[in-house]
Chain A
Amino acid sequence: MNDAAISVSGLRKTYGEVHAVDGLDLEIRRGEVFALLGPNGAGKSTTVEILEGFRKRTAGEVEVLGQDPQRADRRFRERIGVMLQNTSGRSFLTARESLHHAAKLYPRPRDVDETLAAVGLEEKANVKPQLLSGGQRRRLDVALAVIGRPELIFLDEPTTGFDPEARRQFWRLIESLTEGGTTIVLTTHYLDEADYLAHRIGIIARGSLVALDTPAGLRARAKAAHVTWLEGGEAREHATSEPSAFLRDLLARHDGEVERLEVRHPSLEDVYLDLVGLGGVATSESTGAAPADAEEATA
Chain B
Amino acid sequence: MTATVTSPSWVSLALDRLVVDLKDFTRSREQMIFIFAFPMLLLAMFGAIFGGQTLGDTGVTFSQYLMAGMVASGILNTGFQSLAISIAIDRDEDVLKRIHATPLPATAFFAGKIAQILIVSAVQVAILVAMGVLLYDVQLPSAAQWGTFAWVFALGTAAATTLGIATSSLLRNAKAASAILTPIVLFLQFTSGVFFVFTQLPLWLQNVASVFPLKWLAQGMRSVFLPESFEAQEAAGSWQHGLTAVILVVWAVIGLVVAVRTFRWQRPEDR
Contacts and interface: CB of A to CB of B under 8 A. Distances in A.
B90 A90 contact: yes
A52 interface: yes
Nearest to A109: B8
Interface string A86-104: 1011111100010001101
Given A84-B94, A88-B94, A105 B24 contact: no
Nearest to B104: A105
Contacts of A82: 98, 101
A131 to B, nearest CB: 14
A171 B24 CA distance: 32
A19 interface: no
B97 A84 contact: yes
Contacts of A148: 102-103
A61 B242 CA distance: 54
A104 B13 contact: yes
Interface string B206-219: 00000000000000
B101 A84 contact: yes
A90 B30 CA distance: 13
A151 B90 CA distance: 28
Contact of B28 (A52, A77, A86, A92): A92
Contacts of B23: 92-93, 97
Interface string B84-114: 0000011001110110111111000000000
Contact of B103 (A1, A52, A78): A78
Interface in A121-144: 144
Given A54-B266, A106-B103, A107-B5, 9 more contacts: A54-B97, A74-B103, A75-B103, A78-B5, A80-B101, A88-B94, A92-B27, A93-B24, A104-B16
Q: Give the 6 A-B CB pairs with smallest separation, nearest first.
A: A92-B27, A107-B5, A77-B103, A82-B101, A74-B103, A78-B103
Interface of B: 1, 5-8, 12-13, 16, 19-20, 23-24, 27-28, 89-90, 93-95, 97-98, 100-105, 265-266, 270-271
21 contacts: A49-B270, A54-B97, A54-B266, A54-B271, A74-B103, A74-B105, A77-B101, A77-B103, A77-B104, A82-B98, A84-B97, A88-B94, A88-B98, A91-B95, A93-B24, A101-B20, A104-B12, A105-B102, A105-B104, A106-B8, A107-B5
